[in-house]
Each structure stands twice: as C-alpha cells, then as structure tokens.
Amino acid sequence: MSELRTNRIVPRNGLVTNAMGGIIQTVHVSYDSPFDTTTTGGVDTGLTATINMQSASNKLLITCSALWSTVSNEAYMALTDSSNNIIVQPAARGSRGRYHWGTHYNGSGGNSTYHSSRESVTLLHTPSSTGNFTVKLRIYNINSGQTVALNKNLSDNDRIYDPSGVSTLTLFEVTA
C-alpha cells in the first residue's frame, strides 16, 4: 500500500526573522512505498509536495532525500514543477545529463551489480508568483530494458543486504 504523509506548519505571525529573512511556512512529506519503473523517459515517483506561496518575492528552499537503485548509468532523478520542468536545472555542458541525481556507474561494464544509495539535494528556487507551487520527484530512465527503483534495492529480497527506505521532500517558503 502506498503511503504519502504530509505535515504542514503555518505559524500565526511568521517565524522570527533576521537580516537573512525568515521561514514563513513549511511543508514536509515522506514516502515509503516501494516504486520501480522500466519506462523510458520521465516518470512521477509519487513523492510530491505543494506549498501555497504567500509572496511573489519570497524564495522556496527545497530539500529532498531519496533511496534509489539501478543497475547501470542510464537513469537519473530530478525535482520538477507541476509541468515537469526541472527546478534549478544545471547548466548545459555538452551532451551531459542535466539532473539532480545520477548515475550509478557500473565500472565492470555490465548490468551485473545493483547500486543503491541514499542521496540528498537542496535547492533555492524563485517561483516569482503567489499561490500553489508543486514539487515532484521524477525518475528519468534512458534504457527501457533497465529497472530503476525508489525506496528499495532492485533485488528486493527479504534480507539485510537489500535495504528499503523512506524518501522525504521538504518545502520552506523563505522571505527575501
């Protein structure tokens, strides 16, 4: 059964601010359902959070932590908005992938080894608008013959060597 937990903190009069600004509100979700895909292209993982931005001049601080697994270097993950645009996309450099996570390179030259890791990313984004802003974790698979997994190891056996995990996404609206 898929489980997505959301916590929302909205202070009455804002939190304490200083010269650097302050946190207006926080939205936190955790997602512990095992997910995998062999679909080529971008796929929503189910880890999604929406925050209602109070001011167009405020910034959005985003933190995401995910346990993911693949067998080669043909999969990536990225945080996107509701239209699947990558948030704070890295600059283009040749033919390199422009994502937030990736890849798990198998130096032996084959798909014989499972790679699992817990990885985190923190981004500062300027939505430049008020209202709801949605952030999603998406997997980008380049090879349809490859499986990419979230919150589990690909072998997914009931043993100590095959971890299961909880992925989290936290959004902070921060004054400018």
| pLDDT-derived band at 3, boundaries 50, 70, 90 | low
Give the lowest-confidence range in 2-6, 23-27, 36-40, 138-142.
2-6
| Residue burial 73-89, b: 16+ Cβ < 10 Å; e: rest | bbbbbbbbeeeeebbee
Say yes or no to pLDDT of 1 above 50: no
pLDDT at 56 over 80: yes
**pLDDT tens, residue by residue, 81-133:** 999 998 988 777 776 666 666 665 554 544 445 566 777 888 899 999 999 99
pLDDT at 139: 86
Domains annotated on the chain, with CATH = 4-89+99-174 (2.60.120.1340)
The pLDDT confidence band at residue 21, using thresholds 50, 70 and 90, is: low
> 106 is written with which tokens?
């198998």
Q: What SS3 state is found at 87? A: coil
Of 48, 138, 140, 63, give the one whose Cα is nearest residue 97.
140
Name the nearest CA neighbour of 69 among 102, 116, 36, 32.
Answer: 116
Q: Which residue is associated with the tokens 């062999």?
A: 38
Q: What whole-number percentage of the chain has pLDDT above 90?
A: 36
- 37 SS3 class: strand
> Which residue matches tokens 């985003």?
62
Residue pair 136/28 in contact (Cβ under 8 Å)? The answer is no
Please, which residues have CB within 8 angstroms of residue 15's CB and are 6 or more apart in sequence? 22, 23, 24
